[in-house]
Structure formats: structure tokens, C-alpha cells
Chain A
Amino acid sequence: MLGQGIERTEVTPAEKRILAIVPAFNECGNIGRTVQEIRQTGLGVDILVIDDGSMDATAEEARQAGGMVISLPFNLGIGAAVQTGFQYAQKHQYEIAVQIDGDGQHDPAFLDKIVEPLRRGEADMVIASRFLAKTGGFQSSFSRRVGINFFVHLINVLTAVKINDPTSGYRAYNKRMIGLFAEYYPHDFPEPEAIVVAQQAGARIIEMPVAMRRREAGSSSIRYFKTLYYMVKVTLAICLHMIRQRRPKA
């Protein structure tokens, strides 16, 4: 089939095929290392980097590191980039998709751990959480933690689900979720809103404790002074989502 030019792992029928979706926007200097680290886990995952209209050599670096690269013609934002990954995963019938940031914040060493509940069929969606247990690692700045805590309660009130790290973009999904999100994935503030979307579709969402790292190069897209504005916008987006017409269940 496709992908002859790229090293692919031989898949035994009993093994669930895993796709690592790595959204990246101007992540030159980080992306190569992230791809290599995912390969070094030895889990035999296929790595798909979604180059979200980067102006630097992100795509080239990812390709050289051994990842498959889909380049969006212009910057669509994190939500649409990740959704492109889901669409690919759905088309190529992957059993599991893992979303992992290209900025080096997410440690691929935990990949096996967050995929495990999906392999055992215990969950539909697994969120890697940096607050679930004292795992050490980077815990985010104070202002962002206040914001994150706010979303924990907002999502809890709206959906009766307690997610400790709702803004974590390190997640794993089973085939059912891949289908759901290939069809519809929030574009503007995907992380907290996707939890609400999944919950409304009746997904079993669990969290696994992981340690996260500081970003290695570049700067976080949510800057310190923007936290409050981000909180207001995401709250609005989530509330508007709640009153939106329901989509058919996946």
C-alpha cells in the first residue's frame, strides 16, 4: 500500500496499529528530536507529522527523522491540524491514534502507558495528565494552573466528568474516537472542548499520570498575559458547544 518510501513496522494481526499524530507549526529544532524519540520507544508506531503551514524547515526535519509528513497549504490552527491526522488514521484504519505535541513538551516514553488502557479496551480516550499524581516534571506556570483549574471545574459542572488536566494535548484515542473526531473536531480551542464533544458522544475518558517537560525551543502559543482572555474564550466556546445541535453519535 502507501508509504513504501518510509520505514513502516510490520504489523502482526494481533497487534493494534498505532498512529502518532504530531501537529507542528514552526517547530524546526524540536520536531526531529520528537520524531526520533517516538521511534526509539520501540512500540512500532507510525509517525505522522502534520506540518500546519510552517514557514521553517519543520516538514523537512520531520521527514529526515523518519516521520511521514502531511503539509497543510496554510496555517489552519492546532484543531484542524490534529483533525487531519484523525482523517488519515480513519482512512488507513488505525486502531489507536496518539496525539503528541511536536514541541518536545510531551515525553514519548509515556506513550506505552497511555495506550495501554485502549489496548485492554478499558477506555475510548486517554488523557496524559501532569496533575493526576506527583509525577514531578514541569507543572506549568501559576497563572496557567489557575486557568487549567478553572476548566477542571467548568467541565466537571457541565459534563459531570472530572478531568484533572483538560488542556493537555497528549492524548490517545481508540478507533471509535478516531471516527468521531475525523468527522468533527473543534478548531478553535480543541483540548478542553474535545473532552466535552467526546463525553457527549458517550466516550469513556480516563487519565494517566505523566511528567511533562518544558518546551525546548520557541514559545508557548498561550502566553502568560493571554491566560485570562483564553479562559473567557474557551468558556464561551464550551458553553456555545453545549447548546449546539447534537451530532449523531459515532
Chain B
Amino acid sequence: MNIHVVALVVSVAIFLFVIDLVRRRRLTFKYAVGWLFVSGGAIFFAVFYRLLFACAALLGFELPSNFIFFTLFCVFVFLSLLLTVFLCQQNSRNDVMAQKIALLEFELNELKKKFK
């Protein structure tokens, strides 16, 4: 089978998988967007692979495959950094929530004692 067809099939599969995850409410749009762009780009270059070769040559890559690996590497670094930011945000929200719950629980117990 032609390598271009394989690339196209894989990128379309990822794209559809992400859409399915959103449809099944396993992924919200906010987090799906990055993946949709990445897989959309992959589909684009699988179809217009000559454009990919031209880009690779323009940027000075000897082999188009090196360009692909480099681009993928950059995309994943960026995505994981983004995920770390989300993780961090969730972590701080979690802490704030835990503190508030603890304070409220304490005050609730005090109130219960008062009205006993």
C-alpha cells in the first residue's frame, strides 16, 4: 500500500476519533481543539504531500521525513506543555476547593453544636 494512503488513513482515523470523543462527551471542545488542529494538519499534508516536501526543502531539511519528525516533536512538546498548564490550574482549584470545604465543614460542625 502507498505510504501516502497509510498516512491519510491514520490522520483521518485520529480526527474522527477525537470527534467521536467529543460526541460521546468524553472530551470537551476546549481540549479537543488542539487535537483537531493537529490531525487536521496531518490530513492536509497527507493529501498535499508535495507541499510538505516543498516546506521541508524550504526550511533546509535534507529529508522530508526529518521535517515530519521535527514538526511532530514540536507539536507534542507544545501540547504537553499546554496539558501541564491545565493540570496546574486544576491542581490550584482543587487546593482552593479543599480549603473551602474544610473551613465550611468546621463552621457547620460549630453551628450543629450550637443548636444541639
Contacts and interface: CB of A to CB of B under 8 A. Distances in A.
Contact of A88 (B95, B103, B113): B103
The size class of the interface chain B forms with chain A is 10 to 19
Contact of A2 (B99, B102, B111): B111
Contact of B98 (A68, A69, A76, A91): A76
B101 interface: yes
A3 B109 CA distance: 9
B114 interface: yes
Contacts of A42: none
B98 A72 contact: yes
Contacts of A2: 107, 110-111, 114
A142 interface: no
Nearest to B115: A4
Nearest to B112: A5
B20 interface: no
B113 A73 contact: no
A138 B99 CA distance: 33
B78 interface: no
A79 to B, nearest CB: 9
A108 B99 CA distance: 26
Interface residues of A, number: 21
B105 interface: yes
Interface string B87-103: 00000000100110111
Given A2-B114, A4-B113, A5-B113, A73 B98 contact: yes
A5 B99 contact: no
A76 B107 CA distance: 20
A74 B98 contact: yes
Given A73-B102, A84-B103, A187 B95 contact: yes
B99 A69 contact: no
A3 B107 CA distance: 8
A159 to B, nearest CB: 25
Given A76-B95, A187-B95, A84 B102 contact: yes
B31 to A, nearest CB: 25
Contacts of B101: 73
A99 interface: no
A80 B94 CA distance: 11
Interface in A30-88: 50, 68-74, 76, 80, 83-84, 87-88
B113 A87 contact: no
Interface of A: 2-6, 50, 68-74, 76, 80, 83-84, 87-88, 91, 187
11 contacts: A2-B114, A50-B102, A70-B102, A70-B105, A72-B98, A72-B99, A76-B95, A80-B98, A83-B99, A84-B99, A91-B103
Interface of B: 95, 98-99, 101-103, 105-107, 110-111, 113-114
